[in-house]
Structure 1
Amino acid sequence: YNTPWSGLTESHLRGKLPLGAVKESLSRIVHGKKIVGAAIRNDLKALQMDHPAVVDIQDFEMFRRPKPNDTPINLAELWSTHFRNKKPIQQSSHSPIVDARAAMALFKLSQGITTDINAEIDDLAEAIEKQHLNVEDNVKSMATDMW
């Protein structure tokens, strides 16, 4: 369960949708779309999924350590470096909603998008949460228990 990072325990998932059903729902949601995230391939690997259109912000040169090291910088450090006036993220367990919002804000920054990032991220996250909660009653129950 990777509880220290995810915040999830066995009791959170007991009686909820099996992994196969979650994967099927997620596949329908992301079909034909790009998935943007930080170290997103790790999340897909944990779900035993593949997706043809993944944009990992940690692959962007501006979000990597200078050569010769050239390693990715973790999401919390990227956030605190580029959004110093914002509340730090990932101080304890990770929230997938917070991580998604942070990754999207950093992606937009990398693309030179200077609109009100926070308002757009909030709108997008709200839409994702609504879609997520409407997939099935069991998913709604799981989301309520987790967040």
Structure 2
Amino acid sequence: MSDITMNLCFSGDPSTSGSNARKLSGTQLKNMEQQNGIVGHKFTRRQKQRKTKPTSDASSSQRSKAEALIRAHMDKHIKKHEEASEEHQFRKNNSFTKHPSCQTSSHHQPSLSVTAGAGVPSKFLAIDCEMVGTGPKGCVSQLARCSVVTYEGDVVYDKFIKPSMPVTNYRTRWSGIRPCDLSNATPFHQARKEVLKLLMGKVVVGHAVHNDFKVLQYSHPPAMTRDTSRIPLLNEKAGFNKRQCVALKKLTKAIFNRDIQAGCRGHSSVEDARATMELYKVVEDEWEKTLASGQPVGSGGS
């Protein structure tokens, strides 16, 4: 093979090619071409890697975003569960309950849990109702809120109820009911069915409970009714006359030294129902023994 000459400039400047030129044989040139080919191959591979690197970075970024979304979703559910648990514990341990319209959820789905214990406490429910006035000058009482709690004080029903007649007096000072509370309230006939379904077969505890039954248009069996406003045993423990019909607020203060129905926002039917159940527990053993023996206890079981 004939020799092929080539000028190789070591400095990279064409102007110096004369002084720094070097003659290469065909074999040397071929070797250089092979080396250059290898170098070119390596260079091409590096270029491909550089091109694919952004794609890899994009995939990594997408994975990171997906993982962050999953973590945020899990954290949200964990936080929601913890808040629900804390709210349930607070309601169980405290007798005071906010007005339904001030709570996150104003309606509690009716559900009764069976609880083991002396006297089969799952058989007992306490009820309290708030009324508004309808008719001329608001003289006709109609149901506007009903709350039912278990023996342990857990809420199983608490709803605003829309009266069947136009409200002419909200009695907010006592009832705690405002016009906005009844705008989307449960219709009376629907609420009545829900409440009566809960009370069926239960021992119902209430304070002057005949008033609650009246606005529900309902009559509960006397043997299954416990009215804390008509039990001499309770009045005795509170220091009142046996025959006196004492207000729930006074009995609660006298026995537990706790204020209820305080402030200007009106009564809370949940708070009143819980207080009634607690009063019943104070005389439960004596009251039930007296009823079982057939001895008179004032108006006792009716």
Shorter-chain TM-score range: 0.5 to 0.7
Matched, 1:41 2:216: no
The offset of 1:33, in angstroms, is 0.4
Aligned AA for 1:97? Answer: V
1:71 Cα offset (Å): 2.2
User: TM (normalized to structure 1)?
Assistant: 0.67
8 Å CA contact retained: 1:23, 1:47: yes
Name stretches of at least 5 consecutive residues in structure 1 with no aligned partner.
Answer: 114-147
The residue that corresponds to 2:188 in the other structure is 19
| Gap runs ≥5 in structure 2 | 1-131, 133-170, 287-302
Amino acid at match of 1:47: L
Is 1:103 aligned with 2:272? no
Structure-to-structure mapping, 1:94-133, within 5 angstroms: 94-112=267-285
Higher strand share: 2
User: Contact 1:36–1:55 (CA<8 Å) still a contact in 2?
Assistant: yes
1:62 aligns with 2:233: yes
User: Which has the bigger relative contact order, CA under 8 A and spacing at least 6?
Assistant: 1
Secondary structure in 1 aligned to 2:226? strand
Which residue of structure 2 lines up, in the alignment, with residue 5 of structure 1? Answer: 174
Q: Distance in 1 between matches of 2:211 and 2:232?
A: 19
Q: How many percent of aligned residue pairs carry the same amino acid?
A: 31
User: Could you tell me how far 1:28 is from its partner in structure 2?
Assistant: 0.8
TM-score by length of 2: 0.34
**Structure with the higher fraction of residues in helix conformation:** 1
Residue 48 of structure 1 deviates from its aligned partner by 2.1
1:40, distance to aligned residue in structure 2 (A):
1.3
CA contact (8 A) 1:63 1:73 kept: no
Deviation at 1:112?
4.6
Which structure has the larger Rg? 2
Q: Tell me if 1:32 matches 2:201.
A: yes
Task: Please report how far the alpha carbon of residue 83 of structure 1 lies from its aligned counterpart in structure 2 after TM superposition.
Answer: 0.6
More moved, 52-61 vs 75-84? 52-61
CA distance in 2, matches of 1:25, 1:34: 17
Q: How many aligned positions are there? A: 109
Provide the aligned C-alpha RMSD in A: 1.8
- Which runs of at least 4 in structure 1 moved beyond 3 Å after TM superposition? none
